[in-house]
């Protein structure tokens, strides 16, 4: 099912970016983690954020979801300026953030974890309908609905973290290295599910991924961060065609 605010790819209009980051800088004390970062994500687009360890990828997502306060710059989700919006109010704007290292509540059941995800669901979507959507995408979560989240495998916990984010019916889903620490076969499954979420729910996606080769299977465009600066913005084809990027990120 397609959400009302996400037009099909053919209707994409660059004047109506889903997310527009402009001249964003973030400092941690004396450390400048992001320097004048600007990029746009179009409605319904699947965009990658690539870069080495410490490049500022997680900081970018944290700034968007209000977890770190930028030193300067603007972050607009559709028409809404997010800079200055407290983190607990951000989900209601239609943005879901699956942080680095799956964070599920281990002593709660799968279904209770999912129910907690629905705390800022838009009024026009019912919890039951969203739960159904999540269980269709992740049948294994349905089978394990009453199991404690802490007893799930790593891959299942990551799927639960993504499912919980989908309970917000987000228009933008941000994922911080969802494949981290998972076995290759589970990584394949995760990426297959992310592609399905993008295709079937029409959600815009911003994905941090260390494994650029894997990311290229799903992303349409990417930015590359190098010590806090955007050093590349382009399509998957442009990324694949760049010798420098191939060496730096694709291990070729
Ligand atoms: N809370 C913090 N306090 C001080 N410095 C921080 C903090 N969080 C991150 N940094 C620094 O900011 C820079 C960017 O960190 P960030 O976590 O955004 O990088 P990353 O690209 O996500 O790296 P990784 O691939 O290892 O997850 C790094 O130099 C890091 O040490
Ligand atoms: Mg990180």
Please work out whether the CB of residue 63 comes within 6 Å of at least one atom of ligand 1.
Answer: no
* Ligand 1 atom showing the smallest separation from residue 55 Cα: 21
List pLDDT tens digits, range 198-215. 999 999 999 999 888 888
* Ligand 1 atom showing the smallest separation from residue 60 Cα: 18
What is the mean predicted confidence (pLDDT) over 10-25?
Answer: 74
Q: What pTM was computed for the model?
A: 0.91
List pLDDT tens digits, range 131-175. 999 999 999 999 999 999 999 999 999 999 999 999 999 999 999
Whether the per-residue pLDDT at 236 is higher than 80: the answer is yes
Q: How many residues does the chain have?
A: 252
List pLDDT tens digits, range 88-115. 999 999 999 999 887 899 999 999 999 9
Of all protein residues, the one whose alpha carbon is nearest to atom 24 of ligand 1 is 53
Structure-token pair, residue 251 = 């291990």
Q: What percent of the chain stands above pLDDT 90?
A: 75
Token look-up 């990417």 returns 222
Give CA angle at 64 (68, 11), nearest 5°. 180
Distances (CA, A) of 22 to 10, 52, 77, 82, 135: 25, 22, 12, 12, 37
Of all protein residues, the one whose alpha carbon is nearest to atom 6 of ligand 1 is 28
Please work out whether the CB of residue 9 comes within 6 Å of at least one atom of ligand 1.
Answer: no
Q: How confident is the model at residue 52 (pLDDT cuts 50, 70, 90)?
A: confident
Please work out whether the CB of residue 30 comes within 6 Å of at least one atom of ligand 1.
Answer: no
What is the mean predicted confidence (pLDDT) over 51-68?
Answer: 95
Q: How far apart are CA 206 and CA 95, in angstroms?
A: 11
Of all protein residues, the one whose alpha carbon is nearest to atom 18 of ligand 1 is 56
What topology is assigned to 19-250 in CATH?
Rossmann fold (3.40.50)
Sketch the domain layout of the chain as residue ranges.
Answer: 19-250
């Amino acid at each position: 099912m397609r959400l009302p605010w996400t037009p099909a790819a053919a209707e994409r209009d660059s004047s109506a970016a889903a997310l527009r980051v402009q001249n964003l800088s973030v400092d941690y004390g004396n450390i400048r983690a992001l320097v004048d970062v600007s990029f746009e994500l179009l409605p319904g687009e699947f965009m990658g954020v690539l870069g080495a360890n410490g490049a500022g990828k997680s900081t970018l997502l944290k700034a968007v979801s209000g977890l770190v306060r930028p030193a300067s710059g603007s972050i607009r989700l559709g028409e809404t300026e997010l800079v200055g919006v407290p983190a607990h109010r951000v989900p209601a704007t239609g943005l879901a953030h699956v942080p680095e290292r799956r964070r599920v509540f281990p002593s709660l059941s799968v279904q209770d974890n999912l129910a907690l995800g629905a705390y800022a669901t838009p009024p026009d979507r019912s919890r039951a309908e969203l739960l159904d959507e999540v269980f269709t995408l992740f049948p294994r979560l349905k089978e394990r609905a009453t199991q404690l989240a802490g007893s799930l495998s790593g891959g299942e916990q990551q799927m639960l973290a993504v499912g919980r984010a989908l309970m917000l019916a987000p228009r933008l889903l941000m994922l911080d290295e969802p494949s981290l620490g998972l076995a290759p076969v589970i990584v394949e499954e995760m990426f297959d599910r992310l592609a399905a979420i993008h295709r079937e729910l029409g959600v815009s996606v911003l994905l941090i991924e260390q494994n650029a080769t894997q990311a290229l299977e799903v992303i349409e465009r990417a930015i590359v961060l190098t010590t806090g600066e955007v050093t590349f913005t382009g399509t998957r084809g442009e990324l694949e065609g760049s010798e420098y990027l191939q060496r730096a990120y694709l291990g070729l």
